[in-house]
Amino acid sequence: MIEILPVTNQTQLKQFVTFPFQLYKNNPYWVPPLIKDELETLDKSKNPVFKNAEANYFLAKKDGNIVGRIAVIINHLEVNEIGKKKVRFGWFDVIDDIKVTEALLDKVFEIGRAHNLEYAEGPVGFSNMEKAGILTKGFDEMNTMITWYHHPYYAAHFEKLGFKKQATWVEFKLSIPESIKDKVAKFSSIVRERYGLSVIRFKNKKEILPYVDEMFDLLNKTYNTLQTFVPIQQYQIDYYKEKYFNFIHPDYITCIKDKEGKLIAFSIVMPSFTKALKKANGSLFPFGWYHLWQAQRKNDRAAFYLIGIDPKYQGKGVTAIIFEEMQYLFNSKGIDKVETNPELKENTAVQQLWKDYDPIQHKERSTFRKNL
């Protein structure tokens, strides 16, 4: 018998967060999140996203054992301001039993209908700034800090239950040459001179803070035409600033300003924390912090996290400046492999950025949708 139980206390919330640690215990490709971060993200008293969203968490039990989990989310900004009558679901993990999947998704439909919504889509987070999509390609690749890993049967369950793919993201591996390409350096110089652009360099994290709000403003401008877009609120900016700031290294941030000093583009790259998080196994103590510190200090791999360009400057070669700066950084740090963050498949403009770096698409993930 399958039971679907609401999460109503901290003990159950911890069971909710740690269930994947059981499900993927012996999987060499699953990279665990930090348990403390997951608990805080889902805590309605700590995550400010609940100012404009609500969520219910459920555990599935079979024969007394936890066999699945799901979060059912309503983002009121999305529903009321953007007009998408959607119930979201995320933090979805399940054993290979389609009846368990069906029972968990029934909770999504039940809550969606109770709020007069039209369709369900997932897996997604509370907003477009969080993890999204069921992995459909790349099962022999480790997930990054900002993505989920899934077994192949997840997508098969959704398809058998009548769900259709909604949004699809692709990810790439890039090879970094030992020196800057002549055409990149030349084009970067031309663009800087033509538009009066210059690079802002940071010596420490404190110098970055005055630019964070402008970065998120650029993100809103950069991605507001994409299908998954939900405007980033100031309280979310403050929250992400606190959550990810310790992972940021000033050397890995490129900001570009115009001749009036206004920020017109930025990129954030991080040393790859994938292997460090695997070793940490969900905890900073006793040695997890050391693995993360080592990954930040010495690493031959990096991951693109965010890139934003003012629409006025898109298509004008600003990316050449970003790549020139990144190239010098990668070469100085001994980084020869870079992994992109998930990019919507239709966002071909972003994918064109990687064409000179021998891109290999190694992963793909999709959200799935079904009308209520």
Distance from CA of residue 212 to its chain's centroid?
18
Residue/partner pairs of 286-292 with CB below 8 Å, 24 or more apart: 288/34, 292/247
Mean pLDDT of 354-361: 88
2-170 and 177-335 agree in CATH topology: yes
Give the largest CA-CA distance in the chain: 69
pLDDT at 212: 86
% of the chain surpassing 90 pLDDT: 66
Please give the Cα distance from 170 to 341 (Å, whole number). 8
pLDDT at 228: 63
Query: What are the pLDDT digits (tens) for 222-235?
Result: 776 666 667 778 88
Mean pLDDT of 195-212: 90
Comparing 273 with 180, which gets the higher pLDDT?
273
Cα angle 115, 117, 123; round to 5: 105
Q: Is 198 exposed, middle or buried, given 0-12, 13-18 or 19+ CB atoms closer than 10 A?
A: middle
- Of the options 3.40.630.30, 3.30.365.10, 3.40.1360.10, 3.40.50.300, the CATH number for the domain spanning 2-170: 3.40.630.30
- Phi/psi at 260 (5° precision): -90, 0
Query: What are the pLDDT digits (tens) for 127-169?
Result: 877 899 999 999 999 999 999 999 999 999 999 999 999 999 9
Which of 17-26, 100-109, 124-133 shows the lowest mean pLDDT across its residues?
Answer: 124-133
Please give the Cα distance from 213 to 216 (Å, whole number). 5
Please give the Cα distance from 68 to 62 (Å, whole number). 9
Buried b or exposed e, range 340-367, using 16+ CB within 10 angstroms:
bbbbbeeeeebbebbeebebeeebbbbb
CB-side neighbour CA atoms (13 Å) of 217:
9
Q: What is the mean pLDDT of the chain?
A: 91
Cα angle 306, 310, 316; round to 5: 105
Comparing 232 with 303, which gets the higher pLDDT?
303
CATH class of 177-335: alpha beta
Mean pLDDT of 176-191: 87
- Is residue 350 scored above 90 in pLDDT? no
Query: What are the pLDDT digits (tens) for 40-78?
Result: 999 999 999 999 999 999 999 999 999 999 999 999 999
123 preceded by cis ω (within 30°)?
Answer: yes
The domains of the chain are located at 2-170, 177-335
- Is residue 34 scored above 90 in pLDDT? yes
Mean pLDDT of 321-348: 90
Mean pLDDT of 168-196: 90
- Phi/psi at 284 (5° precision): -80, -20
